[in-house]
Chain A
Amino acid sequence: MYLERQQNGSDGDAGLLRRFADGDQSAARTLVARHLHGVHATASRMLRDRTEAEDVAQEAMLRLWRIAPEWQDGRARVSTWLHRVTVNLCIDRLRRRRRIDPGEVPDRADDAPGAEARLQGKSRRAALQAALARLPERQRLAIMLRHFEELPNGEIADILGISVEAVESLLARGRRALAAELSGQRGALGLM
């Protein structure tokens, strides 16, 4: 899983960035292997749009390439920095959507829970994402970073720019809201 790749590789990320800044393209390939999956997954879950998620993932990685020569070892973990950039890029896009279409982020037809017969496999993810979409933005972000990307609370706090206690509070409220929201869909979610 992504967490394993991230944990195993995080110690060497700053060194890889230095090597990339010195012209070593193999370092770029290793960084892509370690981080692009997580960046793309976060963007996909936040935006629920394949094309936009790919655009954001590419942009976040591009920013990493550009900052490589100035990267300072003690500054932040590469994974944290990438997630922060990704989350901010996604928030920008979500807010732009709202300006175009005021109100909540619309649920897309292909993500909305349908008949129970079709809500298996992929539709379980769709049901959860639809419920997530109805959460307040920060609760949704905290839930996704904690339970999908499996980041520790301290890192989530860095990404969102809030305290660890605030992260814990967001997670608790988010989980309660999801539990209530999905209570009628146990069958569809494969929990029966």
Chain B
Amino acid sequence: MTNLDKLNKKVHELNYVDSGRAAIPKTHQNRKQGRELAKKIRKNIESYQDEIGPQQHPNLQAQ
């Protein structure tokens, strides 16, 4: 096994599907865990306001 193979094993898998709703996965984590992940990701995104997009309503920007 190469070092890259070892790294590949560390990468988590998405819930991939080919088609059809039969394969739709259940949630594996509760809301609290999801919010903890959100906090980590939020810290990771430096220009967070840029990522969620510019203000969409010019009227609101002007306020």
Partners in one complex: no
- Identify the A interface with B (CB < 8 A): none
**What residues of chain B have their CB less than 8 Å away from a CB belonging to chain A?**
none
